[in-house]
């Protein structure tokens, strides 16, 4: 049977989602836990291969399991064997045989959290980007609106990106203040490697007054990674959700 998993994890101690030869990964942690429960060696495939240090509150993955079980037992047993890893299966459910966590996805949502205050992050350390000055959220959001739509995002693409094309459609990019933090919400069918973090690094330049919002349009048009801001650190980034034609609970 094919199963769909909804996952949450702290990426700080991992080299990313994808299994690594000599480093811990989220994928390997889950596969080891499933093997401990079922005795089967499985391949767990995710909707998004998050980078080292990137977190998730709504990652989706799938696996095929011969062992007869229930959704509740699968969730609880895998969580038991994941201890003390900072990974949790929030929900498990049967999926259609042709469901694929990555290729069936219709959209992905990310949140980037910035703590913009003079005092350093303590309780949020490793889970936000600490910026020791107040950011101009209105200017950042005005700049963000210039990036929404279908564009060539070469200026925001990592050199190691393996995507066939730099053209993507950015459905949402919103900057807002939430208590003591600045949240940047991004949504698209798919993203280029480091695209969200590169967008955040560019918006940060606007937030500190180094650039005005209009300059972001020129950065986009340049189609040159050197024209954009730096790559924001991974610890502020979260994969918050993956969208499918059939939502969770409808397989």
Point out the residues that are catalytic: 51
- Tokens 């900072």 correspond to what residue? 86
- Helix H or strand E segment including 222: helix 213-222
Dig out the tokens for 225 from the structure: 């990674």
Range list of β-strands (E), the chain: 2-9, 45-46, 55-64, 87-94, 107-116, 129-131, 149-152, 167-178, 181-188, 237-243
Of 114, 173, 117, 168, the C-alpha closest to 143 is 173
Q: How many CB atoms lie within 10 A of CB 211?
A: 19
CA distance 25 to 145: 35
CA distance 209 to 229: 13
């Amino acid at each position: 049977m094919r199963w769909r998993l909804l996952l949450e994890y702290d990426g700080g101690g991992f080299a990313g989602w994808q299994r690594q030869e000599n480093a811990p990964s989220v994928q390997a942690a889950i596969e080891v836990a499933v093997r401990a429960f079922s005795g089967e060696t499985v391949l767990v495939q995710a909707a998004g291969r998050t980078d080292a240090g990137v977190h998730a509150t709504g990652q989706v993955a799938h696996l095929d399991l011969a062992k007869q079980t229930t959704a509740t037992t699968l969730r609880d047993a895998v969580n038991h064997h994941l201890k003390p890893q900072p990974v949790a299966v929030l929900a498990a459910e049967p999926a259609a045989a042709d469901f694929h966590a990555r290729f069936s996805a219709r959209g992905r949502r990310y949140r980037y959290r910035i703590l913009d205050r003079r005092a350093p992050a303590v309780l949020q350390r490793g889970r936000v980007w600490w910026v020791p000055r107040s950011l101009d959220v209105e200017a950042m959001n005005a700049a963000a609106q210039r990036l929404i739509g279908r564009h060539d995002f070469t200026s925001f693409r990592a050199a190691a990106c393996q995507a066939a094309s730099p053209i993507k459609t950015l459905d949402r990019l919103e900057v807002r203040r939430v208590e003591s933090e600045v949240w940047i919400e991004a949504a698209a069918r798919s993203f280029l490697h480091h695209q969200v973090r590169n967008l955040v690094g560019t918006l940060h330049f606007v937030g500190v007054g180094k650039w005005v919002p209009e300059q972001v349009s020129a950065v986009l048009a340049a189609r040159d990674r050197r024209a954009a801001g730096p790559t924001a650190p991974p610890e502020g980034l979260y994969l918050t959700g993956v969208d499918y034609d059939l939502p969770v609970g409808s397989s």
